[in-house]
Structure 1
Amino acid sequence: MSVSLTNCSHKAPATVLEPSLQRIIFRVLFYGTTLYASVLFWIAPRLPMADLAQHAAQVTLLRDLLAHTSPWADIVRINFFTPYLTGYGLALLLSYLMPVAVAMKVVMNAAYLGFVIGCVSLRKRFGGDERLDWLFIPGFFGFPFGWGFYTFLVAAPIGLAVILVAHTYAARPNIKSAIALLLAGIVLFFSHGLVFFFACAIGASFLLVKRKSLFELLVALVPYCVFSLLCILFALFAKQTDPLIALQSYLPQASWTQYEHRLAFPLLVWGTYLSGSIFVVPALFMFAAPFMLRLGINRSDRTALLPLLAVVAIWILAPKSAMKTEYLYERFSLFLMPAYAFAFSRQDPTNASERQRSLRFRPVMRESAVLLLMVIGCWSFLGVQTIRMHRFVAESASFETILERMEPGQRALSLIFDRGSDAYTTRMAYLQYGAWYQAERHGFVDYNFAWFLPQPVRFRSDHLPAMRPGFEWTPSAFDWKSGDGKLYRYFIVRDKSGEASKVLANAECEIRLVERAAEWSLYERGTCR
């Protein structure tokens, strides 16, 4: 008897059929975890994001100026040519329907979801592996979140959208894709300058890889030439209208931190230098995950490596501070893990026998274990964030007592001697917290973000206060006479040592303690001689 082998076939085990049960389970977990992370925006009434209060104060001040109801119109003006238009504009519109703190949470929540969606879209465009989508979740709540870089976070998903459009344009430049790139790029320009430069640099690098001839490259670079002209126009406008450019004494010069500090850059995905330090193990595992899943460098699309190269270049070469902006390179930790994930893809077996072995002996259990550990890494991070947020609610509750004692529409000086939060594990959660009085009670608080060029509300050149940028870090340096202390009715203090009473002592005006609640104190200026 002869047996024909031509009709026999080897069937793969049921566990490797697509779509597999494993894939469905982990995708559901991914979507659920992504949505759960949105809860972090809503636990605390006021988030422990250092600069957020100042951004909220700008929104309230802008709304009052537009309505011609602001008592501060004589000292500030509206700056319509602001590169922060998107973030502030969205919060402004929502502030007519809800409190400004809630409006900013809505915008950031949408930005977070948009960021994850943008990462997934780019990963698909590059042909990456969906199992690495877990790398997209933690970064949004890392260093930029802790510092409250509101406009940077809002611009991040727009930057990803521009990179996606730029990739399409680089593959097939035509009028339609050029117009799409121009429109997306202009929106990004008016969202955040740093994200704009980052996305444009990556988009232009796509052209260097995709275009075959010098002539094609030069023609395709026309949209980026338009972007360059827009930057030049903004620089000329700033030079003509910004009175602060002449005040070079307070501007931080470009500086590069010690390179041993830069080794902590991957941990900034998980928080600030202090709060992210406990996530060393999850961070290392996330970096090892592509290799544990037997992925390789993406060879099907050479442009997939360019975002990672851009982030690494910023990590190594960008200064820590320049052009009135601090923490330049640190904030780009937001893009590190997505760019890292884009660089990997599944590797096709090179011959038929290897393909057959990969189907018959695919290590399903190992893959499931790696994915499960990635899930645990994200859940542990979000769990710690949740606990910290709840603790911050209890820790910061005493500020409400201070705020309730303040009459609306007054000028106040914020003296935050103790900036850190033990609950949220950061050194600067309360740095700008006094500005919530401006945001919610229509007062005016110094020091104030109205100093800075990108802000939608700026100081008038003839009403620059003594409290210049940098004062928020050194409240003990306040001098009643040189600081024009009698200008302020209220002094918002967070101080555990009692140093504030010594700083406020003067021979000109009476200073009385209005309220004390935990570390917070409210002082009021009385009669002056």
Structure 2
Amino acid sequence: MSHREVDLTPMYPFSVLWNAAPWVRLLCAIVYPWGVGAQTWMAPAGALLYAAPFFMGARLTRNRMAFVPLAVVAVVWFCVPVFAMNTFFLFQRFAMFIFPFYALIFRGVAESEVAQRGVKARALASQALLAAVCIGFLGVQGARTVRFAEESADFDAVVAAVEPAQRGLMLVFDKRSPAADNPDLYDNFALWYQAEHRGLVDFNAAWFPPQIVRYRLDRVPAVGPSDVAPAPLSEHFDWRRYQGRSYRYFFVRHTSPIPVGLFANAECRVVLLKSAGTWSVYERQSCRGG
């Protein structure tokens, strides 16, 4: 049995997902360079960036090679599915290249030519508006970053209370981040314990074939892909079924009281080790029979 034979059907009941008509993808090319979470302001801002070179008097370059990067992105954008090889958001990942590669297909115009064509005022106004949009966008992202640093400090506080190099399980009741304006940001956030403190946290992407480091198929944990999607693990966690005894720490993200009996079992004592804001960490301590 190979990793590519692992049954992920319960989690992904499809092998390839297109799910976007060409005209929808065209609209996405206006919005996605700003972020996957569509917001009203992204459409006019994107339209402005596409129109800006023309307003500023720029012309298409005669260098054919300058069109190659944008052409490659266009092929990916319209010909690559949303999901394949157990990986979501395939074509969307290339959105970050659209604006830079679009700019490459234009050449500037000499100052004298701009004056002769009578577009200097329009070009200056376009530059000012374009700069304002970019500065505003960076300002918003900077403010979100600062707010998120404050919001996520709760996790740093609970991690400071645990020992490194231990096994952990994350149970996320609310994965939204109001600070970052992201509905899914905390979905796998407890993996930072693994990244920064040499631990091992489930659910783990080491299940999936594309990963460089994967679980051995004879040592996969009880918490698999079908246990975290479509329903989150926090909704149906069962101590015995998911071998709670094998984990020392349980990282819980919640914005409401944690359900009583979440870790109910007859073999191990589980205690609240630390709680800070929206994060709590529990520790499995003594167990019967070792």
Q: Post-superposition shift, 1:360? A: 4.1
Q: Which moved more, 1:365-374 or 1:471-480?
A: 471-480
1:140-289 matches, within 5 Å, as: 243-250=2-9, 252=12, 253-259=15-21, 262=25, 263-274=27-38, 277-289=40-52
Q: 1:336-356 CA distances to partner (integer Å, 9 max, x unpaired)?
A: 1122222333579xxxxxx98
Query: Could you tell me how far apart the structure 2 residues matched to 1:347 and 1:508 are?
Result: 76
Richer in strand (by share):
2
Given candidates 91, 97, 104, the residue that maps to 1:342 is 104
Which amino acid is 1:465 matched to? P
Please say if 1:314 is aligned against 2:76. yes
- Please tell me whether the aligned partners of residues 416 and 472 of structure 1 are also in contact (alpha carbons under 8 angstroms): no
User: What is the number of equivalent residue pairs in this alignment?
Assistant: 280
Q: Post-superposition shift, 1:390? A: 0.9
Secondary structure in structure 2 of the residue aligned to 1:523: strand
- Please tell me whether the aligned partners of residues 239 and 265 of structure 2 are also in contact (alpha carbons under 8 angstroms): yes
Q: Which moved more, 1:411-420 or 1:263-272?
A: 263-272
Given candidates 376, 399, 405, the residue that maps to 2:161 is 405
Please say if 1:463 is aligned against 2:222. no
Which amino acid is 1:523 matched to? Y
Change (3 A) 1:488 1:340: same
Q: Equivalent residue for 1:294?
A: 57
Q: Equivalent residue for 1:526?
A: 285
Q: Post-superposition shift, 1:506? A: 3.0
Please say if 1:447 is aligned against 2:212. no
Q: Post-superposition shift, 1:500? A: 5.1
1:375-524 matches, within 5 Å, as: 375-469=131-225, 471-473=227-229, 474-475=232-233, 476-499=235-258, 501-524=260-283
TM-score scaled by length of structure 2: 0.85
Q: Higher RCO, 1 or 2 (CA under 8 Å, sep at least 6)?
A: 1
- Please tell me whether the aligned partners of residues 269 and 286 of structure 2 are also in contact (alpha carbons under 8 angstroms): yes
Query: Could you tell me how far apart the structure 2 residues matched to 1:361 and 1:306 are?
Result: 30
Secondary structure in structure 2 of the residue aligned to 1:369: helix
Query: Could you tell me how far apart the structure 2 residues matched to 1:502 and 1:335 are?
Result: 48
Which amino acid is 2:247 matched to? Y
- Please tell me whether the aligned partners of residues 421 and 427 of structure 1 are also in contact (alpha carbons under 8 angstroms): yes
Query: Could you tell me how far apart the structure 1 residues matched to 2:263 and 2:88 are?
Result: 29
Query: Could you tell me how far apart the structure 1 residues matched to 2:116 and 2:24 are?
Result: 47
- Please tell me whether the aligned partners of residues 165 and 199 of structure 2 are also in contact (alpha carbons under 8 angstroms): yes
Which amino acid is 1:314 matched to? V
Query: Could you tell me how far apart the structure 2 residues matched to 1:431 and 1:323 are?
Result: 21
Bigger radius of gyration among the two: 1
Richer in helix (by share):
1
Q: Post-superposition shift, 1:486? A: 0.9
Secondary structure in structure 1 of the residue aligned to 2:33: helix
Q: Post-superposition shift, 1:270? A: 1.0
Change (3 A) 1:516 1:431: same
Query: Could you tell me how far apart the structure 2 residues matched to 1:356 and 1:364 are?
Result: 10
Please say if 1:326 is aligned against 2:88. yes
Query: Could you tell me how far apart the structure 1 residues matched to 2:279 and 2:207 are?
Result: 26
Change (3 A) 1:336 1:501: farther
Segments of 5+ residues of structure 2 without an aligned counterpart are none
Secondary structure in structure 2 of the residue aligned to 1:467: coil
Q: 1:12-45 CA distances to partner (integer Å, 9 max, x unpaired)?
A: xxxxxxxxxxxxxxxxxxxxxxxxxxxxxxxxxx
Segments of 5+ residues of structure 1 without an aligned counterpart are 1-241, 349-354
Query: Could you tell me how far apart the structure 2 residues matched to 1:249 and 1:460 are?
Result: 16
Which amino acid is 2:131 matched to? V
Change (3 A) 1:356 1:309: closer
- Please tell me whether the aligned partners of residues 304 and 342 of structure 1 are also in contact (alpha carbons under 8 angstroms): yes
- Please tell me whether the aligned partners of residues 249 and 284 of structure 2 are also in contact (alpha carbons under 8 angstroms): yes
Q: 1:372-405 CA distances to partner (integer Å, 9 max, x unpaired)?
A: 1111111001000111111111111111221111
Q: Equivalent residue for 1:201?
A: none
Percent of aligned pairs with the same amino acid = 36
How well do the aligned residues superpose, as a CA RMSD in angstroms? 2.6
Q: Post-superposition shift, 1:362? A: 4.2
